[in-house]
Amino acid sequence: MASDLISERRAEWQAALDEIVPQIRGLEDKINDALSEELRAVLKERLAFLKQRQTLILQAQAAQDAADAAQGALEGHGFPELPDMEIPANLLEEFDREVEDNLAARSGFVSVPSATTITLNLGTPQDLP
């Protein structure tokens, strides 16, 4: 079921955040320690990677929240049912006449067949001087 998949996805996102947030905090603290520039560069690279991952997870969660809200609004609009609309008989008759006129106008036309093959005659090959 879709809601099971969404719940599973949300749990997966949360587990990933629970894993990387402490790593981010630890790396942010460690970068300020007395380290070689080489080690500091490696730690900063990892920190940037983890922050990007965190941002992507948070964006995915926000997108899922927006999708959930849109689905709720859609269901509040009666989805998936699409009810017929009642209109006065005279307007329905007018609409039917318009449809009949369109069908009558269309009746004088036929489709031109499309080319399905093309034959090219390139002649005999000749050597260039």
Q: What is the pLDDT along the chain (129 residues), one digit of tens a residue?
A: 567 888 899 999 999 999 999 999 999 999 989 999 999 999 999 999 999 999 999 999 999 999 999 999 999 999 999 999 999 999 999 999 999 999 999 998 999 888 778 788 888 888 887
Q: H helices of the chain, where?
A: 2-31, 37-76, 89-106
Q: Where are the domains of the chain?
A: 2-76
SS3 21: helix
pTM: 0.64
Q: Is the dihedral angle over the CA atoms 3, 52, 19, 24 positive or is it negative?
A: negative
CA angle 72, 78, 82 (to 5 degrees): 135
